[in-house]
Amino acid sequence: MTDHTFRFGVVATPQDGDAWRATARRIAELGYSTLLMPDGLQLLAPFPSLAVAASVADIRVATFVLASPLRTPMAAAWDAHSMTVLTGGRFELGIGTGIPAAKQSAERLGMPYGTAAERLAQVGATIDRVRELEQADGPGDLRTPVLVAAGGPKSRTLAAEKADIVTLAAGPLANTDDMAAMAEDLRAKAGDRADAIELAMNIFVIGDDVPPWTKQFMGVDADELIAADALTMLRGTPQEMADELQRRRERIGTSYISVNAQFVEQFAPVVELLRDR
């Protein structure tokens, strides 16, 4: 299904500088490739936070994902390109149209939230501005990989045209058949680019227990996830989890796997089994 080897990331948010630096060092020690950070005014700002992380550990850093209404395309591209240059090419720009809570953040920033079509157009414009900044710098090896969170058909069309990495934004109860259909549609839209696109998957629950914050965010409990055979949950021994991820890669094409920081130690044996395979 894909020639992409496995790599693994951790989605985390900083509370203070010392703990954040320790988190970056620890995930690098455990073999994760990337530290990813969400976006929103309820959190610290992602670009300076990720710059700090990249300065203390030999890891990639990524936004996961920027909400397009919170910045103009040029402002987001400027920060992204600067991160790529300053980290020596270790930055990935993850971007999407934003979750519903982004509307309140946009209002507080004095930014128009826009329609769904306008927010998606901002995603495309941001990617274009990043590429323009790269061209303005002249020939070089530094290029910002762009991850697009794509849910509906229109966002998959944009991702197929412009993204290097795509995370298929399905509902919390989406199963293998659901995700495989989305991936097939993406590849069909991508045409000759299909093999170059890396497919990502964020797993919210490792093991049998759903943390309270995760249950609140997703709106489902463990029994519902298990009954649906949902891909947002991964259970079993480390070897069983590794086998399941290999099956998902074979069927769907997902090779870039991220987990929440709460599961970083629990999931580390799976990383050891599959990293670079």
**59 Cβ contact list (under 8 Å, min separation 6):** 24, 27, 28, 32, 33, 34, 35, 53, 90
Number of independent structural domains in the chain:
1
- With beta carbons less than 8 A apart as the criterion, state whether 122 and 95 touch: no
pLDDT of 1 reads 57
Q: Is residue 209 part of a domain?
A: yes
Amino acid at 245: L
CATH number at residue 131: 3.20.20.30
Please tell me the predicted confidence (pLDDT) of residue 213: 80
Q: What is the pLDDT along the chain (277 residues), one digit of tens a residue?
A: 578 999 999 999 999 999 999 999 999 999 999 999 999 999 999 999 999 999 999 999 999 999 999 999 999 999 999 999 999 999 999 999 998 889 999 999 999 999 999 999 999 999 999 999 999 987 677 899 999 999 999 999 999 999 999 999 888 999 999 999 999 999 999 999 999 999 999 999 999 988 888 888 888 989 999 999 999 999 999 999 999 999 999 999 999 999 999 999 999 999 999 998 9
pLDDT for 39: 96
**CA angle 35-245-22, nearest 5°?**
20
Asked whether residue 35 is domain-assigned, the answer is yes
The whole domain housing 94 covers 7-274
Write a three-state SS string for 66-108. EEHHHCCHHHHHHHHHHHHHHCCCCEEEEEECCCCCHHHHHHH
Within-domain flag for 2: no
Q: Distance between CA 166 and CA 201 in Å, rounded?
A: 9
In a domain, 66, yes or no: yes
What is the pTM for the complete model shown? 0.95
In a domain, 43, yes or no: yes
Distance CA 38, CA 251 (A): 28
Q: Is residue 1 part of a domain?
A: no
